[in-house]
Amino acid sequence: MAKEQEYIRRITCEVSKKINRTPLHVTNYPVGLVPWVQQVMSLVDLWPNEEVNMVGICGIGGLGKSTIARAVYNSIADHFDGLCFLSNARETSNKHGLLYLQEILLCKLVMEKDLKLGDSDKGISIIEHRLHQKKILLVIDDVDKLEQLEALARRCDWFGFGRRIISTTRNKHLLACHGIKRIYDVMELNDEEALQLFSWNALKKENIDFSYLDISNNIILYSCGLPLALEVIGSDLCDKMIDEWKYAFDKYRRIPNKQVFEVLKLSFDTLEDREKEMFLDLACFFKGEKLDVIKTLLSF
């Protein structure tokens, strides 16, 4: 009788967790998001159940990697016994250390509050021991160091059959170093999608008014299809007149928006010194040149 009660209790807990699960917020305006999510879903591949998939989502800052990861997470969460979305792994690791990330992971997946591990090496052993039979979905968002992946998902056999691990990063090489072969490179929005996203943020509707079209196209060109830039600039121009749009755009060209600049600067800051020098050479001496010409010059 006691075993039956325990069995019923466990079933009730599992059903309750799925019924009460709150989806992650994805975005206010999911322009261009559906095809991105579909392509990542094809890499995640929920079937067959006995395999393990580790998938990477990579691209520069502001492209929407985390947004895609949240949308995929919401779409497939009900297929797993345990769920964990670790946001801002880079920032959290820098502030609190790898041990803190391991404790969050275990708290979410084994449902133990106030778990203290002592050190990250012990955390690795406990993660492997406690989760090796559990079918889990783990998303590690914004990874910037190999040690973060090593501490949280070193090997596929740490988790039970059917587990899926998704990592987002700006550094594609980092994914390759961890043995992740299924990688989705996030691309910029095309001009049509960019204009639509900008319109939603600036005018709260799908299509730009004709009188705003010229200045909007200039902003689209300036934003280079980067969703973050379109959202930030669009929100900044919301409820303003066209003369204010033109004044603000002139200012953006002279002084980049601080929020967008800081996100893009992170990608530069993570480069090695030699890579920074090469980047600055390309930016300063080849500005306006065609890509094919630059490739030819650099091939010598």
For the stretch 43-52, pLDDT in tens is 998 876 666 6
Q: How confident is the model at residue 31 (pLDDT cuts 50, 70, 90)?
A: very high
Instruction: For residue 197, report the phi and psi dihedrals to the nearest 5 degrees.
Output: -65, -40
Q: Check the CA dihedral 189-25-149-156 and report its sign.
A: negative
Token code pair at residue 230: 């379109």
| Strand intervals (E) in the chain | 53-58, 82-86, 136-143, 164-169, 182-185
Partnered with residue 138 across adjacent β-strands are 84, 165
HEC sequence for 141-197: EEECCHHHHHHHHCCHHHCCCCCEEEEEECCHHHHHHCCCCEEEECCCCCHHHHHHH
Radius of gyration of the chain from Cα atoms?
Answer: 22
The pLDDT value recorded for residue 123 is 79
Strands 182-185 and 164-169: unpaired
Q: Is pLDDT of 23 > 50?
A: yes
pLDDT at residue 138 is higher than 90: yes
Least confident among 121-125, 126-130, 261-265: 261-265
Lay out the sheet containing 164-169: strands in order across.
Answer: 82-86, 136-143, 164-169, 53-58, 182-185
- What span, in angstroms and rounded, lies between the C-alpha atoms of 31 and 190? 11
Provide the pLDDT confidence category of residue 9 given band limits of 50, 70 and 90. very low
pLDDT digits (tens, 9 = 90+) for 182-210: 999 999 999 999 999 999 999 999 999 99
Amino acid at 135: K
CATH annotation of 2-185: 3.40.50.300
Q: Residue 162: what pLDDT?
A: 80
Does the pLDDT of residue 69 top 90, yes or no?
yes
137 — phi, psi (to 5°)? -115, 115
Please name which of 55, 63, 80, 61 lies closest in space to residue 27, comparing C-alpha atoms.
63
Q: Is the pTM of this model over 0.85?
A: no
Q: Report the alpha-carbon distance of residue 70 to residue 137 in Å, rounded.
A: 12
Name the percent of the chain lying above pLDDT 70. Answer: 83
- Domain residue spans in the chain? 2-185, 191-260, 270-298
Residue 65 confidence (pLDDT) above 90? yes
pLDDT at 133: 78
Query: Which residues have CB under 8 Å from 174's CB, separation 6+?
Result: 143, 144, 145, 146, 149
User: pLDDT (tens digit, 9 = 90+) per residue, 155-174?
Assistant: 766 777 788 999 999 999 99
pLDDT score at 8: 44
Structure tokens at 162: 């059917």
Please answer whether residues 90 and 142 qualify as being in contact, where contact means their C-beta atoms are separated by less than 8 angstroms: yes
Distance (Å, whole) CA 260 – CA 60: 12
Q: What average pLDDT is seen over the chain?
A: 84
What is the pLDDT confidence band of residue 10, given thresholds at 50, 70 and 90? low
pLDDT at position 90, please? 92
